[in-house]
Structure 1
Amino acid sequence: MSEPGVVGVRRVGDRALLAEVGSAEEAAALAAFLRASGLVADDVVPAARSVLVDGVDGSDGVDMAAAERLVASWPGGRSVAAARTVVIPVTYDGPDLELVASRWGVSVSEVVARHTSLTFTSAFCGFAPGFAYLAGLPREWQVPRLADPRPRVPAGSLAIAGEWCGVYPTASPGGWLLLGCTAVSLWDPAAAEPALLAPGTRVRFAGL
């Protein structure tokens, strides 16, 4: 396991920085730290192992240097002060429940009990509008993606793969293992914050 903190920082063009860290949780924490610092930039975008600081104000290099120093000053850690916790009701009837139960060596009901006991954190959004990569699945419960992805996964499908959990906001192809489904809308382009599960949001699932 890598030590917490920034692994490396490099400039991406004249007005952007890319900071590399050791985990998705650290990326989310660094992004929260930078937003709270008052850094003047167009956007701060966490990803799986990095944070992009885009549109740093100023073009003479002074502000970029200050931004680099700010990133380097981050003390590390995985704690993120979440704006809110979202509880998503789920019908656990997914086609891969028995496969996950077999991988975990437990019953289907125990899969549901384990999954609903967890608190996830939205690390970053990607793949499709409103699709949040949710961190918090214990290493021993991680499962591989399907060898042959499905051509269509219904909107609202709750799924896991590798270290991630996620809910498909719209129907799309996908290779994650499906645990169930929800009727909750995850993406509203007319809202002030279109993504229900914006980075930093804590997420819990409740069985129906």
Structure 2
Amino acid sequence: MQKKSLGIVLTYIRYRETSILVTIYTKSSGIKSFIENGVRSAKGKHKMALFQPLNLLDLDLFLKDKGLCRISEAKSAYPFKETPYNIYKSSIALFLAEVLYKVLKEEEENVPLFDFLEEKIKELDQIKTGLENFHIYFLWELMVFLGIFPETMHEMFSQLGNRSPELEAMMERLILRGQVEGLNRKIRSEMIQVLLDFYHLHLESLGEIKSLDVLHEVLS
């Protein structure tokens, strides 16, 4: 079946000498895996730069019910101005792409979720202040679309054993009230870990997030 769709690149792996297997979250059909032949050669129809994490693409697709699909045409739907060239933004993009790759499994249309992700990807590229908290807000808001959103901050901490009332209060001030006073690298790292632990509690597919150490190092 041939279909046009927007897509968000999540990850790719090298395949044979010049090809890749790329996982894309499509607006029309959810998660799909594609084989892209020759992309790592000089004569390839599409260039590797198109398939970097969180790239937004306009796609012409050949979709299958089973197995790998193919991409007929691919072009950028949103040329980044900063994300690939800013180590802070590119590290956040890599982290978020890995999380999304682990938690998005549905092979069906979900327009509200796709629109949310598209908006956030553009926001990351354009943001001038508050970058250090962007991924915290993102993980909190994404829970709504994954069906695991807690009714209150206290409920989330209670499910995790309510390990730190002080951290709970700081997360509530940051996420629910937008108050950022007194935050530092250590506290932000603890907040991210709380959110990831909550994801782990409800989503077995999450597993280890390998890019987390890189993110902490870059944002330190």
Note whether the superposition's TM-score is higher than 0.5. no
TM-score range, shorter-chain basis? under 0.3
The alignment's TM-score, normalised by the length of structure 2, stands at 0.26
Q: Which has the higher contact order (CA 8 A, sep 6+)?
A: 1
| TM-score normalised by L of structure 1 | 0.27
Larger strand proportion of the pair:
1
